[in-house]
Amino acid sequence: MKKLLYIIILLALPFGKVFAVDYNASAFGCVSDGQTNNTRSIQAAIDMISAKGGGTLNFYVGRYLTGGLELKSNVTINLHEGAILVASPGFYDFIQKAGKRYFIYAEKQENIKIIGKGVILGQAALVAPNIQNQVNKGFVKESVDSLLPTLVGFSHCQQITLDGIMLRDASGDVLDLDHCSQVTLKNQLIKAHASPKGAGLRLAASTEVSLDSMYVDVAGKALVKDASSKISRINKSVTPNGKPIK
Amino acid sequence: MKRLLTLIMCLCCLQVLAKDYDVKDFGVEGNGTTLNTRSIQAAIDYVSTHGGGRLVFTPGNYVTGTIYMKSNVILHLERGASILGSLNPWDYDKDPYINWKSLIYAIKQENIGITGQGIINGRGFDNAMNTLNLVHRGLIEDELKYDRVREWNRPENIYFRECKNIKMIGITLKDPGSWNQTYDQCQNILVDSMTVDSKSYWNNDGIDIVDCKDVVIRNSHFDAADDAICFKSHDANAICENVLVENCTARSSASGLKFGTVSRGGFRNFVIRNLTVYDTYRSAITFAAVDGGLVENILVDGVRSINTGNVIFLRIGDRWSKGKRPVMRNITIKNVYAEVPMDKPDKGYNYEGPIEDLPRNISPASIIGLPNHLIENVTLENIEMVYPGAGNPYYAKRGLTPEELDGIPEMEAAYPEFSQFKELPAWGFYIRHAKNINFKNVTFRAMAPDYRPSIVADDLQGGSFTGMTFDEVKAGNKEQIFLHNSKNVEIQK
């Protein structure tokens, strides 16, 4: 019996190790000057870490300009205090999925975390003119409103944790959850005023969602959810006028 | 006859001193590719050992690694001449006496300078990236704190140490790999009509004056990612003193004019006149005595602080004091107009200041000592500060109850920044652990209602508020000055 336990521990050790691996963004050539577009470097880092079994990608203080990114299973993004993922405002720089556009996106993934005191910044004021420009020139047919990218979107994902990071300056909705479950949102400041209808959190068919110590300051509704979505717990979460989020 | 001979000899001497040498005569190429380190060094050595003079760089791009200035040599960069830092990290020395990398050193030299309308461009971004790459390949050892190469392993443009009689006139300093220009334990420095464009990488200061005496900085412009005009004191037994800063403009993603952060010896006898600070992320003026240093006899007269995140931050801390007593006293700040924005003031510049210490509403100007080390004798006169207001208690709150005010941490060992205390209980000015602070003719405006009063003083031992104006939108009869644990404070409306 004891032997079996040892074997199990020995077998588990390498996995434990793999999950604890830390990677620094600079090792992938990421530059924190706010000017260099880091899309391919960051995506390569996420893909590689996920393929190797998971780990943490660390961003330290600085502005990391990037186009849309797809998060992958078992990858933790740690935005340390002062680290900012800044959305590149180019019209074609966002992730496009099923007619919707996103800055940070994940689909059919699990065990994803974005943690730290850092920021995900949408740069709405720079994004909108680029959309208008492409619409005016006739290269895209949709309405400007439908082209406003959501800041962070998860679709068909499980075990998502967003802890501490600030979500700011979204062009459209701030955080979209579609067919997701086991979602933990806590200690977050959400600020976005660019889109009059932009929701703070938009839930569709998502369950086991918990909110703890959230401050949601948006032009639209703080929380929009359909009938099939279920919030398991809301604690100490308010809007700017002090009203609890419901 | 004897007199005439003397005169002629004098004239000859002057001529020798002023003699010009064309750097190209020493085989130096201005083609933007040739690495000229050794030929430029040979030229400097030759001129220095042959009575001194100017080494003239005619228009061209002169690539070089580390060079050392020598006594009685002026590098004169004509308009169109650029000295470019090599892109190879191995081309730079980390001088063992300085223990910090630099493109141009001067150590224990006299009568030196860099003049003319030319440019020194450290190409610091590429240098930093190339160095980082060598660290990742294991060829250079560096801890990579904050995921970047430590500042002493990236080259500054200029590091002068223990030099006398320095003239830096007219030149433009661009894009260092670390701080830009350091003058350390030097005497008699003139910086005039200099342009600094220093935002290529982390730690890019504008100018650093460390433990120097008799310094004039005038008619110059500093645009820097880190502190713009910065005085430091590295040595507990040395001091920065007798300094004039006048007619300068500063832009920074940190502070505009700063004493510290390293502040072991101190800062004494300063006059700062006619300073404009704009688009600056942290404070227009920061005086920090956090390492046991002295800050004494400082006059600041004439400041415009436009689109700058904080106006004044005076701070005593106890970080690396090693038992030495920090002192800050006899400071006058007058004739100041300041506008603090709601938005990020340094938006769009390279290496913007980090978003940190949140949640907090707009932070007030502040004078913050420690319980056993009060900041003493500060006069603030003829000042107008315009704030956005709009402090929202649901976002961040620090009320006026004794528990809340006493609950503000002292943070004596923390890195000093205006935002370090997160939410403070005033929207205009916060004073703590201070003695004899006098406000005369000071106006505070808030463009939107704020839940806080304009001024909170905690542990203020003597002082006065006279000729105060408070203009906060929709404030009604709100009490704008709140005193806590304070005594002998006179308030005259």
Q: Decide if B12 is inside a domain.
A: no
Residue A232 has pLDDT above 80, yes or no: yes
Residue A21 CB partners (closer than 8 Å, separation 6+)? A49, A52, A54, A55, A56
Task: Indicate the residue of A83, A119, A242 with minimum beta-carbon distance to B394.
Answer: A242
- Mean per-residue pLDDT for A26-39? 96
* Interface contact A166-B358, CB threshold 8 A: yes
φ, ψ (nearest 5 deg) of residue B89: -55, -30
Task: Indicate the residue of B132, B147, B392 with minimum beta-carbon distance to A60.
Answer: B147
Residue A20 has pLDDT above 90, yes or no: no
Residue B484 has pLDDT above 60, yes or no: yes
CATH number (domain holding residue B290): 2.160.20.10
- Mean per-residue pLDDT for A174-195? 97
* Interface contact B146-A61, CB threshold 8 A: yes
Residue A71 has pLDDT above 80, yes or no: yes
For chain A, what are the domain ranges?
21-235
Q: Decide if B276 is inside a domain.
A: yes
* Interface contact B147-A119, CB threshold 8 A: no
Q: Decide if B160 is inside a domain.
A: yes
Residue B349 CB partners (closer than 8 Å, separation 6+)? A34, B199, B225, B251, B253, B279
**Is A21-235 a CATH 2.160.20.10 domain?**
yes
Q: Which of A42-46, A50-54, A194-198 has the lowest mean pLDDT?
A: A194-198
Q: Decide if B6 is inside a domain.
A: no
State the virtual CA torsion across B436, B442, B447, B451 in degrees, nearest 10.
30
Contacts of A25 in chain B (CB under 8 A): 147
Longest dimension (CA), chain A: 72
Q: How confident is the model at residue A9 (pLDDT cuts 50, 70, 90)?
A: low
Residue B307 has pLDDT above 90, yes or no: yes
User: To which residue do tokens 């577009």 refer?
Assistant: A37
User: Helix, strand or coil for residue B298?
Assistant: strand
> What one-character DSSP code corresponds to residue B40?
H
User: Helix, strand or coil for residue A5?
Assistant: helix
Q: How confident is the model at residue A16 (pLDDT cuts 50, 70, 90)?
A: very low
Contacts of A58 in chain B (CB under 8 A): 147
Contacts of B129 in chain A (CB under 8 A): 31
The Cα B447–Cα B428 span in angstroms is: 12
Structure tokens at B300: 């600041």
φ, ψ (nearest 5 deg) of residue B146: 55, 25
B188: containing domain: 18-492
Residue B13 has pLDDT above 50, yes or no: no
In whole numbers, what is the pLDDT of chain A averaged over residues? 93
* % of residues, chain B, pLDDT over 70: 96
A151 closest CA partner among A207, A194, A215, A214: A194
Q: What is the pLDDT of residue B14?
A: 47
| C-alpha A105, offset from chain centre | 6
ipTM of this predicted structure: 0.88
Across the A/B interface, how many CB contacts are shorter than 8 Å?
A: 64
Residue A153 has pLDDT above 70, yes or no: yes
Residue B10 has pLDDT above 80, yes or no: no
Whether cis (ω within 30° of 0) applies to the bond prior to B359 is yes
Task: Give the residue from chain B lying closest to A60, CA to CA.
Answer: B146
User: To which residue do tokens 């019209």 refer?
Assistant: A91
Structure tokens at A217: 């300051």
B307 closest CA partner among B339, B269, B351: B339
Q: What is the number of domains present in chain B?
A: 1
Report how many helices (DSSP H) and strands (DSSP E) chain B contains, helices first.
Answer: 4, 33
User: Helix, strand or coil for residue B328?
Assistant: strand
For chain A, the residues whose C-beta falls within 8 A of a C-beta of chain B are 24-27, 31-35, 58-63, 81-84, 117, 119, 166, 189, 215, 217, 238-242
Which amino acid type is present at position A57?
Answer: L
The Cα B7–Cα B277 span in angstroms is: 48
The Cα B420–Cα B362 span in angstroms is: 12
pLDDT tens readout for residues A53-63: 999 999 999 99
Q: What is the pLDDT of residue A18?
A: 46
Burial class of residue A210 (count of CB atoms within 10 Å of its CB; 0-12, 13-18, 19+): middle
φ, ψ (nearest 5 deg) of residue B42: -60, -40
φ, ψ (nearest 5 deg) of residue B127: -60, -40
**Distance between A154 CA and the closest CA of chain B, angstroms:** 25
- Whole-structure pTM value: 0.92
Contacts of B281 in chain A (CB under 8 A): none
Q: Decide if B138 is inside a domain.
A: yes
pLDDT tens readout for residues A107-147: 999 999 999 999 999 999 999 999 999 999 999 999 999 99
Whether cis (ω within 30° of 0) applies to the bond prior to B261 is yes
pLDDT tens readout for residues A197-219: 999 999 999 999 999 999 999 99
* Interface contact B147-A81, CB threshold 8 A: no
